[in-house]
Amino acid sequence: MKTLLPFLKLYRRHIWRLLFGMLLAAVTLLASIGLLTLSGWFLAATSLAGVAGIYSFNYMLPAAGVRGAAISRTVARYVERLVSHDGTFRVLQHLRVFTFSKLLPLSPAGIARFRQGELLNRLVADVDTLDHLYLRVISPLVGALVVVAVVTVGLSWLDVGLALTLAALMLLTLLLLPPVFYRAGLPVGQDLTRLRGQYRSGLTRWLQGQAELRLYGAAAQFRNALDGTEQQWLNVQLRQASLTGLSQALVMLMGGIAVTLMLWLSAAGIGGDPHPGAYIALFVFCALAAFEALGPVGTAFQHLGHVIASAQRVTQIIEQEPAVTFTATSPQNAGGAAVTLRDVSFRYASSDPLALDSVSLDIASGEHIALLGRTGCGKSTLLQLLTRAWDPQQGEMVLNGIPLNSWTEADLRSRTSVVTQRVHLFTSTLRDNLLLAAPNASDEELSTALHQVGLDKLLDNEQGLNAWLGEGGRQLSGGELRRLGLARALLHNGDLLLLDEPTEGLDAETEQQILSLLRKVSTGKTLIMVTHRLRGLANFDRICVMDSGRIIEQGDHQKLVADRGRYWTFLQRFAL
């Protein structure tokens, strides 16, 4: 239960709206009880009065009371739905923002171990499940307690003993059923949460991997495994439905006992009157209506296990400490971007080998550096450390004479332009995807950037910059995605350019155009480019060859060729 406390604290922002919703829910329940109770008494009293009492019996007031209770129930139910759902949606909005604000600083180190589908399921489905805490647990329980109190006080005006007897039966139901069904529903709720996440994660992977699964003939096998998970999920839902039916049956049983007891006791007399007449119907129908109001309580705590399991999954993410924290203020510094690395060592996990092993490097402001080496030698890791995706376990990284961990996130991001291996496009327009890099850029500047990277054809349509790119830019080729990433970097215009395989997927002619463009636009800027392609490296100020997390040789093209080391070996293979 302690897992729910942080989420309950978030309800404070909407406490009055939620309390008003619970008040309206209680009013609705009481109006329903009043309607059935008054109707039962009215019918019984009218029958006893008969035709002879048509002039002595007051029909008008009970009839008005029945109509008033019916109207009150309808209006209260309608307004309660509006207020409760509005409050719930506001709480969910707050929960999502709160969860995402906790999740964002963890990227990428804190969420690297979660699959995309699993992370999305926790962020969406598990957060959505937390609304059950108000709608299915708190509100029904508060409404039931209000019903017990009001019914007991109301019936006490007629007979204290009968009122207390009915109250005792109702309280006994509230004390026994919730704990029993909480215990019974806890493993079911945990299984539901686990299987829902497992199924949705598997479904996401199955949809994303359709091409590979069909090519290698594994689609049927993967689908069978997914169907097996779905069947387990359906079986657990069946168990939950069975528990729900059992809880409702027990509430009906307790209600039947209460109605029978009220009929038996009231028949002996009410309030000292041995001939209570129509008041017998009043007590019987009041007991029947009151136990109908207690119906949701039986299933309320059954869903608590589901809520707790979802809360634990969300808490597992948001309670992590960020691997990287930024300061609030950056020291004053001049323009440019001089980078210094001193004995930098880094590994992704304590059991992993070193991705970088005592790397030292001095890069002057405006210098152009190429990082060359085999896949997995630490090139991309070095770029990620420069963006502070992670911090090194050993050594120091300095930008413009200031330790990298002394920069604020905003200052570091504004100083750095990055093109990663995987360029992500949002499901939006071409303009929106470009404005991510420069929110205040004009349409002319956006068009110029596209022209510089050779993407003029994206503007050759009626929509222009308003062209819809679709999910992840699916209609663009890999080379076009790379060039769009370069266009973003040009628009961002940082002093430090970090490029990870910017010409991957491009033909030789386009690659030459992009490299020429980079030389032109990066004049006066510090450029660090990761590559495994050798074309154009002669134009870089320095080439650093990496292997097993170390820089094994560095120098300009002529020097490395003369040394006949690893770089020279790469050139010989490239020539072949």
Instruction: State the chain's mean pLDDT as an integer.
Output: 84
Q: Please state the CATH superfamily assignment of the domain spanning residues 2-318 in this structure.
A: ABC transporter type 1, transmembrane domain (1.20.1560.10)
Taking a C-beta distance cutoff of 8 angstroms, is the pair 352, 549 a contact? no
Confidence label for 78 from pLDDT (cuts 50, 70 and 90): very high
> In the chain, which segments carry CATH 1.20.1560.10?
2-318
Question: What pLDDT is stored for residue 368 in this prediction?
Answer: 92
Q: Give the mean pLDDT of 491-518.
A: 82
Question: What pLDDT is stored for residue 235 in this prediction?
Answer: 93
User: pTM higher than 0.85, yes or no?
Assistant: no
DSSP for residue 137: I
- The residue that leads in pLDDT, 117 or 242, is 242
Taking a C-beta distance cutoff of 8 angstroms, is the pair 18, 11 a contact? yes
Question: What pLDDT is stored for residue 75 in this prediction?
Answer: 92
* Distance set, CA 43 to CA 51, 270, 332, 451 (Å): 13, 18, 86, 85
User: How many Å apart are CA 70 and CA 317, to the nearest integer?
Assistant: 48
- Token code pair at residue 240: 């939950």
Question: What pLDDT is stored for residue 474 in this prediction?
Answer: 65
Question: What pLDDT is stored for residue 342 in this prediction?
Answer: 92
Could you read off the pLDDT of 528-551 as tens digits, one per residue?
999 888 888 888 899 999 988 899
Question: What pLDDT is stored for residue 473 in this prediction?
Answer: 66
Bridge partners of 89?
none
Residue 65 has pLDDT above 90, yes or no: no
Q: What percent of the chain has pLDDT over 90?
A: 11
Confidence label for 575 from pLDDT (cuts 50, 70 and 90): low
- DSSP letters of 277-323? TTHHHHHHHHHHHHHHHTHHHHHHTTTHHHHHHHHHHHHHHHTSPPS
Confidence label for 56 from pLDDT (cuts 50, 70 and 90): low
Bridge partners of 359?
344
Question: What pLDDT is stored for residue 116 in this prediction?
Answer: 65
Helix, strand, or coil (residue 1): coil
What fold is seen in the domain 339-428+477-575? Answer: Rossmann fold (3.40.50)
> In the chain, which segments carry CATH 3.40.50.300?
339-428+477-575
